[in-house]
Amino acid sequence: MITSPPDLNLASQDGSIQVCFRWHQDRYQHHFGTAAEMPLMTSIEDNGGLAWPCSPPIQQLSLEAIPLGDALLGVGGAGTSHWSISVHHVASANQPTLQFELACRYKIAPGFLGSRYDHHPDLIVTAGDDATLDLDGDVLTVKPKRIANQGTSRWSYQVSKPLGR
């Protein structure tokens, strides 16, 4: 019998926002929320087999203790490209925040590169200096600002929940 890898969670220091990574077919899918509420925002995943999936295909993930605190670190691949992700909480007086940092190494120009979500208005997504945001209806896309024909592209963003929500 084949078993799926375990779910992995990371919460802000006050526990008011959490990301949960759950195995979905051949990769992890993730959503935001807390144990007391339904998922607020979920990553959009393809069914596998695409060289350029609509979200990074993270296939190995672990929770690690690093000097900043706990972090989720992961890697994955599709086509001839390789992805990496790190997620950690950021201390903020204004709102609980999770920081996402992603990279993709590729040999040919990507067909698509970025992260897609079913957006929820109770969460604030902020692009890092290396990323752009696009909201099309209820679909939020975070993409790298610069994509070369080959090499490594990086993008980062923060997901936060205002205090009191």
What pLDDT, on a 0 to 100 scale, did the predictor assign at position 34? 65
Tokens read off for 80: 């001839």
Mean pLDDT score across all residues of the chain: 90
What pLDDT, on a 0 to 100 scale, did the predictor assign at position 152? 96
Contact 115, 136 (CB under 8 A): no
Whether residue 145 is predicted with pLDDT greater than 90 in this model: the reply is: yes
What pLDDT, on a 0 to 100 scale, did the predictor assign at position 35? 57
What are the residues facing 29 on neighbouring strands? 22
Taking the complete model, does pTM exceed 0.95, yes or no? no
In tens, the pLDDT along 123-143 reads: 999 999 999 999 999 999 999
In tens, the pLDDT along 86-117 reads: 999 987 667 889 999 999 999 999 999 999 99
Which range is least confidently modeled, 13-17, 34-38, 74-78, 157-161?
34-38
Q: In which order are the strands placed within the sheet that holds 124-127?
A: 60-66, 69-78, 81-90, 97-106, 151-160, 124-127
